[in-house]
Structure 1
Amino acid sequence: MNIAIWGAGSGLGAAMVDYFHGQGFNVIAIARNPSKNPKITDYNLTSIACDATDKTQVENTVAMLPDNTVNISTMGSFHADIPVDYIGHRYLIDALEQSSSNRLLLITSLGCGDSWQFLSDRAKQVFGSALREKTLAEAWLQSSGLDYTILRPAGLKDGAPTHQGQLSQNIEVHGAITRSEVARLSHQLLLNNDNFGQIFQCVDPNVAAY
């Protein structure tokens, strides 16, 4: 299976590259600057440089994907000059709708959409702008024709998969989770077509939030 990972240069995207390559998938690593993640070269992966705030670059990148590629997006831009969280995903969703690759797992964050109400005032002040951008991306995806799933992880930490992360829906959760465990849970979600059109959140009760 071909899996395109958007935001593969660092952070959660880099953890996704590690995990899905280790599971034997044909990983296509997409990032503004793929060289930020040396493992893309170490693993001899196909990589595509793409600034997702540029509509033409996104369209050209999607056009390069093999038919029926599964897409995972971890793109985010905390305090960036031009946030990618909404506009980049809008361009990506629109381009995927015109392609054969209509499966998208969008990774956002706790605090998006209806989970905003559970954030502390301090979290809203610090992360509010980015979370609002990600919420707009979720809304754009929900009104698209794609086979989508949305995953909202708790606070992200470095670390290996723990196999103790918990997926849930429609309840209040707080805490943290390792990036590699989010990747493992993402794989779990992709294996089940019953998750189309669903929103999940994930947290690991055994990972300290601070």
Structure 2
Amino acid sequence: MEQILVAGANGTTGKKIVQLLHDSQYFNPIAMVRKEDELPYFKAKNIDTVLGDLEEDISHVFKNNIDKVLFAAGSGGKNVVGVDQEGAKRLIDASKKNNIRKFVMLSSMGADEPSKAEELQDYLKAKHNADEYLKDSGLNYAIVRPGSLTNDELTNKIELARKLNKRGKISRNDVAQTLVHVLNDDVANKATFEILSGETLIGEALDKVSAD
């Protein structure tokens, strides 16, 4: 089974990602959390964990022979430069040193052109800078940019395009499912795309993703 380091594992979407990986026959998640009191939630489910702060040195989190990395961390607007931007860069650099086979980035719709956003410009600029850093890193990557996140049920269906040219919503469950699909070797390599709720099965939509 491939070892998947999940940064931001304790977040609302992060927990869904980790559970999907844990239930998978292909992947074993390593939940990266920042605080000691976040460990018991995962340990109670027999999920591997590692303590790591994206604002500090994180070289030690790769001691578990990590194969791929999924970045789902965020500061919730409290420290977008320190976590969403520089924390992502720190993890990308560490991934390069450890020859990670794929880095999947949970980004955001609007991160391609943050200056055009009516709100959350600082956040989108941080995401943009992290995305561009990943593209230039030499790593194999996938950058997934969902619309506004909801807590709706899983539909297993999305609308996907490199640029959708419209706003919309998508459930965290469908985002998590998409991210886990993208971890597969034959899906969305060196690709960036946007997703919203839609009518196409996630697997079918991802079959049409092409490299940047």
| TM exceeding 0.5 | yes
Of the structure 1 ranges 127-136 and 170-179, higher mean CA displacement relative to structure 2 is found in 170-179
Q: Is the contact between residue 110 and residue 153 of structure 1 (CA under 8 Å) also seen in structure 2?
A: yes
CA distance in 2, matches of 1:152, 1:113: 9
Query: Which amino acid in 2 is paired with 1:6?
Result: A
Q: Is the contact between residue 114 and residue 125 of structure 2 (CA under 8 Å) also seen in structure 1?
A: no
Hey, what does 2:71 align to over in structure 1?
A: 73
The alpha-carbon distance between structure 1 residues 130 and 115, as it changes in their structure 2 partners (threshold 3 A), is closer
Question: Which consecutive unaligned segments of at least 5 residues does structure 1 have?
Answer: none
Question: Which consecutive unaligned segments of at least 5 residues does structure 2 have?
Answer: 200-212
How does the TM-score come out when normalised to structure 2? 0.84
The answer on 1:157 being equivalent to 2:159 is no
- 1:82-161 equivalences in 2 (<5 Å): 83-114=82-113, 117=116, 119=117, 121=118, 124=119, 127-161=120-154
- 1:180 pairs with 173, 176, 181, which one? 173
Question: RMSD between aligned alpha carbons?
Answer: 2.1
How does the TM-score come out when normalised to structure 1? 0.84
Give 1:34 shift.
6.2
Hey, what does 1:198 align to over in structure 2?
A: 191
Does the residue aligned with 1:66 lie in a helix, a strand or coil? coil
CA distance in 2, matches of 1:66, 1:166: 35
What do the CA deviations read for 1:106-135 (whole angstroms, capped 9, x no partner)? 001111014764x4x2xx2xx111111111
Hey, what does 2:6 align to over in structure 1?
A: 5
Q: Is the contact between residue 114 and residue 124 of structure 2 (CA under 8 Å) also seen in structure 1?
A: no
CA distance in 2, matches of 1:39, 1:111: 33
Query: Which amino acid in 2 is paired with 1:60?
Result: H
CA distance in 1, matches of 2:158, 2:183: 16
Give 1:205 shift.
4.2
Q: Is the contact between residue 176 and residue 205 of structure 1 (CA under 8 Å) also seen in structure 2?
A: no
Give 1:188 shift.
2.4
Q: Is the contact between residue 9 and residue 35 of structure 1 (CA under 8 Å) also seen in structure 2?
A: no
